Amino acid sequence: MTSHQKSPGRLTTIAPFLVVKNGARAVEFYTTGLGAATVERYEGPDGKLSAKLAIEDAVFFVGDEEPAFNNLSPESIGGSPVRIVLVVSDPDAVFNRALEAGATQVCPVTTEEDWRIGKLVDPFGHIWEIGHPLDEA
């Protein structure tokens, strides 16, 4: 089996782990602003938080910074080199809800070629493109 072939019976996934300065506030934003559900949430004795969240079937993780392990937030490093693409059935509604919850618009939701998509930055410096392909509308 080559490295690009799927193993029988196994699901391959990839999920971002978003490092933030205030995990509790981030979980609140992602649940309110993006409609995420909290799947698991852990708080250490030091007050640091780590959580597994899901927007429908899309799983991602959020956790407080840990500078000793080089886990730094976009706020600490001066921005994020990564864009997260969130595909949803109603990008306008999700985008507007995120703005109301504290995100900052980079590009409004528009129709571009074969996508309905907009770009924003969440309050923790992570860049989100929220949209859907028009053939899935």
- Does residue 69 lie in a domain region? yes
| CATH number of domain containing 114 | 3.10.180.10
What confidence score (pLDDT) does residue 136 get? 59
pTM over 0.85: yes
Number of domains in the chain: 1
- Does residue 4 lie in a domain region? no
73-105: b (≥16 Cβ within 10 Å) or e? bbbeeeebeeeeebbbeebeebbbbbeebebee
**Per-residue pLDDT of the chain in tens (137 residues, 90 and over written 9):** 455 565 667 788 899 999 999 999 999 999 999 999 999 999 999 999 999 999 999 999 999 999 999 999 999 999 999 999 999 999 999 999 999 999 999 999 999 889 999 999 999 999 999 999 998 55
